[in-house]
């Protein structure tokens, strides 16, 4: 029996609130179970069954959530796709991943998959649920990697991996049945799905954001945010000082987390947790209660790690079954059974410090340059909101670093000069950017969550007139 079925049939739990849709609208566990059954019935009628691939192409919504669980209840493979993805690319993704059906609330006509439609049905038609036996080891979800270095790969997880990952996060952050978690990140990211499985693992409440997103953040006991969202939350709180803040824990991830930002949150009595995770591990791998150190703590319950040549290797709770390729699940671990993350890290003061991506590193005049190291120093300036470092070609040095910066005030030559002065004694000369460009965080944000380096590279080319 799937967890939502268990809760829906429990006399003790069926009348308890499972999903808070808005201030005055909610669903009990019994209602959630019924709604999932309705969707499962409709899916089954249209041909979805065990091992069928189904793509859901939508922004977060109650409908998307219930459909996601309905496909799993039928034993299907559910692939979530960003609705902003170009239609041709969606078609290719469906073909590559053996997707037979798709659903989108906005009409999309695909060649390689059949559209699903839903109509209202009476309860009499739905007396028996369409379901299979719950198998925690069956392939259930397919989550796309970012695809920044090529075609996105679909990472396949079973339910055990999602629940094992959830257990570690819930333990660290003291998330219990009495708490609520806001669905604050897109479900087509593994971090968004992680929220769902924590909710289900603890039979807690799931809150859906209202139009005033940051007010919704304040109403949930737990929330997942990327640093950009936390920065906006702090600005929101400065403007709405009379609002009560109910959040007990904010889980941060998705990029480098500055100590200055978490300290600013702490001064407002917001408790943050600094985390590090990845799609292949079903979300969070390391996390800690944020402090004055820039690390991400120790591995959570059931996770293991090792450092090989400064590359982070991981395994354990949350590890995916593999990548979906040519109708097969291809293992993603090496011969020793470890996942090589391509992330660089060091172990210092009894915690992991993530230093950046192997594939972001470039060579300038024979010296290895890790952009994230320079970015960290740039963000220490009181004048800087956000910064990214990229390489540009150079005849003498091969490549040189340049910076795209968002200042607290307008981008100007004087702001750049002040920042250059700030860097003088803080970083080696060959690592200091040779040019600065304005950073439009809204324009360069991927899926309204994190800054896309691939997009930044395109933007830099445009700015350079190439």
Q: Report pLDDT for 149.
A: 46
- Contact residues for 59 (Cβ-Cβ < 8 A; gap 6+): 83, 186
Of 194, 376, 155, which is closest to residue 285 (Cα–Cα)? 194
Contact 131, 2 (CB under 8 A): yes
Domains defined for the chain, CATH in brackets:
3-134 (3.40.50.980), 190-358 (3.40.50.12780), 361-463 (3.30.300.30)
The angle that helices 159-173 and 190-202 make with each other, rounded to 10 degrees, is 80
Q: Report pLDDT for 321.
A: 98
Of 27, 32, 25, 26, which is closest to residue 8 (Cα–Cα)? 32
Q: What is the pLDDT along the chain (466 residues), one digit of tens a residue?
A: 999 999 999 999 999 999 999 999 999 999 999 999 999 999 999 999 999 999 999 999 999 999 999 999 999 999 999 998 889 999 999 999 999 999 999 999 999 999 999 876 555 454 457 889 999 999 999 999 864 445 789 999 999 999 999 999 999 999 999 999 999 999 999 999 999 999 999 999 999 999 999 999 999 999 999 888 898 999 999 888 777 788 999 999 876 788 989 999 999 889 999 999 999 999 999 999 999 998 999 999 999 999 999 999 999 999 999 999 999 999 999 999 999 999 999 999 999 999 888 888 898 988 889 899 899 899 999 999 999 999 999 888 889 999 999 999 999 999 999 999 999 989 999 999 999 999 987 776 655 567 778 889 888 988 888 6
The phi, psi pair for 465, rounded to 5°, reads 75, 30
The Cα–Cα gap between 78 and 157 comes to 10
The Cα–Cα gap between 334 and 282 comes to 18
* Positive or negative torsion for Cα 11, 12, 17, 19: negative
Of 340, 394, 406, 405, which is closest to residue 369 (Cα–Cα)? 394
Helix extents (H) in 59-158: 62-73, 87-96
Q: How many CB atoms lie within 10 A of CB 163?
A: 18
Burial class (CB in 10 A: 0-12, 13-18, 19+), 18: buried
- Contact residues for 392 (Cβ-Cβ < 8 A; gap 6+): 399, 400, 402, 434, 435, 460, 464
Place of tokens 């603890």: 202
């Amino acid at each position: 029996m799937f967890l939502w079925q268990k809760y829906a049939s429990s006399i003790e739990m069926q009348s308890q609130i499972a999903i808070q849709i808005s201030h005055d609208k909610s669903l009990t566990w019994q209602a959630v179970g019924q709604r999932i059954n309705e969707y499962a019935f409709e899916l089954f009628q249209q041909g979805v069954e065990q091992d069928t691939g189904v793509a859901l192409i939508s922004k977060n919504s109650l409908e998307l959530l219930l459909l996601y669980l309905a496909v799993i209840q039928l034993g299907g493979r559910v692939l979530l796709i960003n609705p902003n993805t170009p239609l041709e690319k969606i078609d290719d993704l469906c073909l590559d991943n053996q997707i037979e059906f798709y659903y989108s609330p906005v009409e999309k006509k695909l060649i390689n998959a059949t559209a699903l439609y839903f109509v209202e049905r009476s309860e009499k038609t739905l007396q028996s649920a369409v379901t299979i036996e719950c198998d925690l080891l069956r392939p259930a979800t397919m989550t796309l990697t970012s695809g920044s270095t090529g075609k996105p790969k679909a990472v396949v997880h079973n339910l055990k991996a999602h629940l094992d990952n959830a257990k570690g996060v819930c333990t660290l952050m003291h998330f219990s049945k009495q708490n609520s978690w806001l669905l604050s990140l897109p479900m087509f990211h593994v971090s968004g799905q992680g929220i769902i499985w924590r909710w289900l693992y603890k039979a807690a409440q799931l809150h859906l954001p209202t139009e005033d997103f940051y007010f919704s953040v304040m109403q949930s006991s737990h929330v997942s945010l990327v640093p950009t969202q936390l920065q906006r939350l702090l600005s929101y709180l400065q403007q709405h000082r009379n609002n009560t803040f109910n959040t007990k824990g904010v889980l941060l991830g998705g990029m480098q987390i500055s100590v200055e930002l978490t300290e600013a949150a702490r001064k407002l009595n917001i408790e943050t947790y600094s985390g590090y995770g990845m799609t292949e591990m079903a979300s969070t791998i390391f996390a800690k209660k944020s402090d004055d150190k820039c690390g991400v703590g120790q591995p959570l319950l059931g996770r293991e790690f090792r450092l090989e040549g400064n590359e982070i290797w991981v395994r354990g709770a949350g590890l995916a079954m593999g990548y979906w390729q040519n109708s097969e699940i291809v293992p993603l671990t090496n011969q020793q059974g470890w996942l090589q993350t391509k992330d660089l890290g060091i172990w210092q003061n009894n915690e992991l410090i993530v230093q950046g991506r192997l594939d972001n590193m470039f060579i300038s005049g024979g010296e290895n340059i890790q952009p994230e190291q320079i970015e960290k120093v740039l963000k220490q300036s009181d004048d800087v909101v956000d910064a990214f470092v990229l390489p540009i070609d150079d005849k003498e040095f091969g490549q040189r670093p340049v910076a795209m910066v968002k200042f607290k005030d307008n981008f100007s030559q004087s702001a750049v000069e002040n920042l250059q002065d700030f860097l003088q004694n803080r970083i080696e000369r060959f690592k200091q950017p040779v040019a600065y460009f304005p950073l439009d965080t809204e324009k360069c944000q991927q899926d309204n969550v994190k800054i896309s380096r691939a997009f930044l590279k395109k933007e830099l080319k445009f700015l350079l007139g190439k």
